[in-house]
């Protein structure tokens, strides 16, 4: 039993990282008022670019993660142009970006022959004697570098969003762009940068899936994890730390399901496979019921294009 | 996408069993020399299913002395399939080879529209006067992989990463155990279903969970080489599917169940060329003897005498030995194949039981 729990916990954080980083990226976009449904697409871009960097440029894994971030940010320039500058409907543009990215990554992956090529990828970095602690040693201190970095990344972004002047302006842009504009904040610039920064984090999540976790590129390999990240943002009520907790919950489930099967425990298989989605729904319903009558946490201007001087 | 192909392939089952369509009384005679065109479901370098057809194409071009044009990445809907097929036919192609379950209905319609063209469809479920679906008897190749796995495993605990519990997946798992027990009578196979054909993250999670439970050889019936890669990382062994996975995990991969479509398609096209071709009414279902499926064996970790036994068993299968020969009971003790009998194709396609020694959820 102890072995089962130890091996389960040891695997959990690595599966939580992609959800956590993607959700954090989405929070940055959405706190600035840009509804981003692009996560699934930008994760694919990050995943392909990461593997491509390893295969074509012989990049070390950390550099490959950076390439994944940069590639997602690059594609996000297009999305930002569409929704921030041209003020297209954000839902439609976001969905279109997902399909565009699915096609683009299939095309590029096939053209360069990056599909199904095994790569070295990130390796575990045990933190000395800490990694030998019973139960929690393997879970917390025998992980790859990005698992360790996720916590500081969250701390930095949470601080930036809630404690810094930049974060205040960014949230103002998401809550009331008119007021922010009147106060002298450049709404377009803030939204543009928020989309790029958020998308870079989503790209990092994707690159981690291919370079850190699977260590291979397969067409459409993110398998809907981007959509789960979107749900995660809603049930985290746009708060970074809650998103991290939610991501760890998903990591727990994702690492638990195959372990229950490998242990030969009789549990209904389809119920197990459904678990992450049932939990998503359940938590969202619970949040909705628990918060009835209180003002929503959703950024007030989420999804609304800002046209300067326009009355609403 | 893949997944659709496969789930579908599972339903080949139904197609084959109920015999959608029927063979015409009179065989098909195409006009002139066979001119083949290949419609690939995914990219020709996808490292898996589609690539096996691309590899067969090269061999077929040599063996049949013809050029075989192809199109890649054709999704499973009529509006994507029909235009390239019709273009090939207009350019004179008279043998069209498809590669996906999802092509079944469209190929059926096209075969009726173009009665003078021969249609073949891998993993399809429709058949007709000039249309034949085909799939391989992968339980034969997976049985041999199971033998290699059983010979190398020190713990006798084998694992299997599979997609979904369909007949065509279940028969590979059961065969894997039956093969392993030839080499180690106490071997067990713990199967984990990922619920996806093409999700390397879930496959890695499954493989790691199995290795954490003390399993030291991992078989697979999913579309990516991830289980082999994990096996190599963790210093255990594995057996592959689709193609020779020593390409991805040279040290870990003991044996792979591979597709050898040229071995089935070359004679089939020759039959078509000879005229009066009658497609198999329930589709073609070739085993190692007739092409379709085979093994790439053995990796360096398999001892010489074990490898010899695997190859001897392969010879026996070619000579007519059936993997599912009775007596066979399922885990609940119910007799599934009586002594002296073998499992029929219809029962294979709807296999929803496991032999004792297979551990599943």
Residue of A nearest to B243 (CA): A116
Portion 26-45 of B in contact with A at CB < 8 A: 42-43, 45
Separation CA A292–CA B22 (nearest Å): 62
Residue that is written with structure tokens 């599979």 in the block: B162
* Residue A175, helix vs strand vs coil: helix
Q: Tell me the sheet residues that pair with B28.
A: B277
- pLDDT at A20 > cutoff 50: yes
Are B359 and A264 inside 8 Å of each other by CB? Answer: yes
- pLDDT at B217 > cutoff 70: yes
- Is residue B163 within 8 Å of residue B221, measured between CB atoms? yes
Which pLDDT belongs to residue B17?
46
Residue that is written with structure tokens 């998103």 in the block: A243
Q: Does B236 touch chain A (CB under 8 A)?
A: no
Under 8 Å CB pairs connecting chains A and B tally to 120
Mean pLDDT, residues B310-316: 97
Separation CA A128–CA B44 (nearest Å): 46
Q: Could you give the angle at the alpha carbon of B22 between the alpha carbons of B21 and B28, nearest 5°?
A: 115
Provide Rg for chain B, Cα atoms.
20
Q: Across all residues in chain B, what is the average pLDDT? A: 91
Is residue B25 very low, low, confident or very high in pLDDT (cuts 50, 70, 90)? low
Separation CA B58–CA A94 (nearest Å): 42
Separation CA A83–CA A90 (nearest Å): 6
Contacts of B191 in chain A (CB under 8 A): 261
Residue A166 backbone dihedrals phi, psi, to 5 degrees: -60, -45
Two tokens at B81? 């399939």
Residue B154 backbone dihedrals phi, psi, to 5 degrees: -85, -35
Residue B353 backbone dihedrals phi, psi, to 5 degrees: -130, 160
Q: Give all domains of chain B, ordered by start, each with its CATH number.
A: 2-137+260-289 (3.40.50.2300), 138-258+293-359 (3.40.50.2300)
Cα–Cα distances in angstroms (integers) from residue B24 to residues A35, B27, B151, B264, B281, in the given order = 58, 7, 48, 22, 9
Mutate which of A1, A143, A218 to disrupt the B interface (most B C-beta within 10 Å)?
Answer: A218
> Crossing angle for the helix pair B167-183 and B304-318, nearest 10 degrees?
130
- Is residue B190 within 8 Å of residue A262, measured between CB atoms? yes
Contacts of A15 in chain B (CB under 8 A): 201, 205
Residue of B nearest to A110 (CA): B43
Residue of B nearest to A217 (CA): B200
Q: What is the ipTM of this complex?
A: 0.87
Mean pLDDT, residues B106-118: 96
Contacts of A207 in chain B (CB under 8 A): none
Please tell me which residue, B8 or A134, carries the higher pLDDT value.
Answer: A134
Q: Tell me the sheet residues that pair with B191.
A: B160
Separation CA A205–CA A211 (nearest Å): 10
> Crossing angle for the helix pair A39-57 and A2-31, nearest 10 degrees?
110
Over the stretch A121-144, which tens digit does the pLDDT of each residue have?
A: 898 888 888 888 887 888 889 899
Residue of A nearest to B72 (CA): A110
- pLDDT at B147 > cutoff 80: yes
Contacts of B213 in chain A (CB under 8 A): 262-263
Give the Cβ contact number of residue B277 at 10 Å.
20
Which pLDDT belongs to residue B299?
86
Checking DSSP bridges between strand B253-260 and strand B237-242, what pairing results, if any?
Answer: parallel
Q: How far does CA A292 lie from the centroid of its chain?
A: 28
Residue of B nearest to A209 (CA): B201
Mean pLDDT, residues B266-295: 94
Q: Where are the beta strands (DSSP E) in chain A?
A: 125-126, 142-143
* Residue B278, helix vs strand vs coil: coil
Mutate which of A6, A228, A258 to disrupt the B interface (most B C-beta within 10 Å)?
Answer: A258
Residue B130 backbone dihedrals phi, psi, to 5 degrees: -130, 25
Residue B70 backbone dihedrals phi, psi, to 5 degrees: -140, 160
Are A265 and B361 inside 8 Å of each other by CB? Answer: yes
Is the bond leading into A306 cis (omega within 30 degrees of zero)? no
- Is residue B285 within 8 Å of residue B345, measured between CB atoms? yes
Q: Which of B350, B344, B306, B286 is nearest to B138 (CA)?
A: B286
Q: Does B127 touch chain A (CB under 8 A)?
A: no
Cα–Cα distances in angstroms (integers) from residue A223 to residues A132, B3, B146, B225, in the given order = 34, 11, 30, 17
Q: Which fold is adopted by the domain A2-290?
A: ABC transporter involved in vitamin B12 uptake, BtuC (1.10.3470)
Domain map (residue ranges) of chain A: 2-290
Contacts of A17 in chain B (CB under 8 A): none
Over the stretch A150-197, which tens digit does the pLDDT of each residue have?
A: 999 999 999 999 999 999 999 999 999 999 999 999 999 999 999 999
Q: Where are the alpha helices (DSSP H) in B65-116?
A: 78-90, 104-113
């Amino acid at each position: 039993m102890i072995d089962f729990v130890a091996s389960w916990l040891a695997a959990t954080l690595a599966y939580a990282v992609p959800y956590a980083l993607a959700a954090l990226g989405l929070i940055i976009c959405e706190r600035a008022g840009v509804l981003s449904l692009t996560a699934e697409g930008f994760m694919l871009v990050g995943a392909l670019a990461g593997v491509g960097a390893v295969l074509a440029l012989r990049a070390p894994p950390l550099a490959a993660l950076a390439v994944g971030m940069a590639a997602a940010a690059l594609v996000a320039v297009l999305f930002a142009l569409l929704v921030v500058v041209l003020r297209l409907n954000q839902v439609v543009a976001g969905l279109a970006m997902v399909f565009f990215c699915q096609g683009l990554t299939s095309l590029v992956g096939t053209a360069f022959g990056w599909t199904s090529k095994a790569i070295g990828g990130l390796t575990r970095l045990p933190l000395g004697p800490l990694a030998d602690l019973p139960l929690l040693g393997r879970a917390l201190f025998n992980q790859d570098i990005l698992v360790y970095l996720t916590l500081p990344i969250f701390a930095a972004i949470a601080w930036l969003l809630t404690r810094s002047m930049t974060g205040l302006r960014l949230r103002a842009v998401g809550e009331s762009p008119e007021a922010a504009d009147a106060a002298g904040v450049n709404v377009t610039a803030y939204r543009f940068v928020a989309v790029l920064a958020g998308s870079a984090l989503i790209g990092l999540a994707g690159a981690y899936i291919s370079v850190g976790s699977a260590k291979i590129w397969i067409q459409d390999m993110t398998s809907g994890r981007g959509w789960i990240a979107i749900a995660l943002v809603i049930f985290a009520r746009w708060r970074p730390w809650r998103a991290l907790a939610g991501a760890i919950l998903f990591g727990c489930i994702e690492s638990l399901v195959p372990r229950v099967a490998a242990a030969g425990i009789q549990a209904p298989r389809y119920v197990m496979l459904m678990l992450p989605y049932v939990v998503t729904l359940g938590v969202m319903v619970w949040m909705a019921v628990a918060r009835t009558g209180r003002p929503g946490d959703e950024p007030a201007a989420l999804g609304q294009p800002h046209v300067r001087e326009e009355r609403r | 996408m893949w997944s659709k192909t496969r789930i579908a392939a599972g339903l080949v089952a139904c197609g084959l069993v109920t015999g959608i369509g029927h063979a015409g009384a009179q065989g098909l005679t195409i006009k002139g020399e066979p001119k083949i065109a290949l419609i690939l479901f995914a990219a020709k370098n996808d490292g898996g299913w589609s690539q096996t057809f691309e590899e067969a194409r090269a061999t077929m071009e040599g063996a049949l002395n013809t050029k075989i044009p192809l199109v890649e990445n054709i999704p499973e809907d009529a509006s994507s399939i029909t235009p390239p097929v019709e273009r090939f036919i207009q350019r004179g192609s008279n043998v069209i080879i498809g590669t996906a379950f999802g092509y079944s209905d469209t190929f059926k319609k096209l075969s009726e529209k173009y009665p003078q063209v021969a249609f073949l469809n891998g993993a399809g479920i429709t058949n007709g006067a000039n249309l034949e679906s085909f799939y391989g008897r992968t339980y034969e190749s997976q049985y041999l992989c199971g033998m290699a796995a059983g010979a190398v495993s020190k713990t006798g605990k084998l694992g299997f990463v599979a997609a979904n519990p369909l007949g065509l997946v279940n028969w590979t798992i059961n065969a894997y155990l039956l093969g392993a027990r030839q080499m180690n009578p106490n071997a067990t196979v713990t199967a984990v279903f990922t619920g996806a054909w093409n999700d390397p993250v879930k496959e890695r999670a499954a493989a790691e969970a199995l290795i954490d439970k003390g399993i030291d050889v991992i078989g697979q019936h999913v579309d990516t080489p991830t289980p082999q890669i994990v096996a190599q990382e963790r210093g255990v062994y594995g057996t592959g599917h689709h193609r020779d996975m020593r390409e991805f995990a040279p040290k870990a991969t003991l044996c792979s169940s591979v597709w050898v479509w040229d071995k089935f398609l070359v004679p089939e096209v020759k039959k078509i060329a000879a005229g009066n071709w009658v497609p198999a009414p329930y589709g073609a279902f070739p085993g190692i003897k007739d092409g379709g499926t085979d093994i790439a064996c053995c990796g360096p970790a398999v001892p010489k005498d074990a490898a010899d036994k695997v190859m001897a068993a392969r010879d026996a299968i070619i000579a007519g030995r059936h993997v599912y020969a009775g007596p066979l009971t399922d885990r609940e003790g119910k007799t599934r194949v009586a002594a002296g009998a073998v499992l029929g194709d219809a029962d294979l396609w709807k296999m929803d039981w496991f032999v004792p020694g297979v551990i599943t959820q």
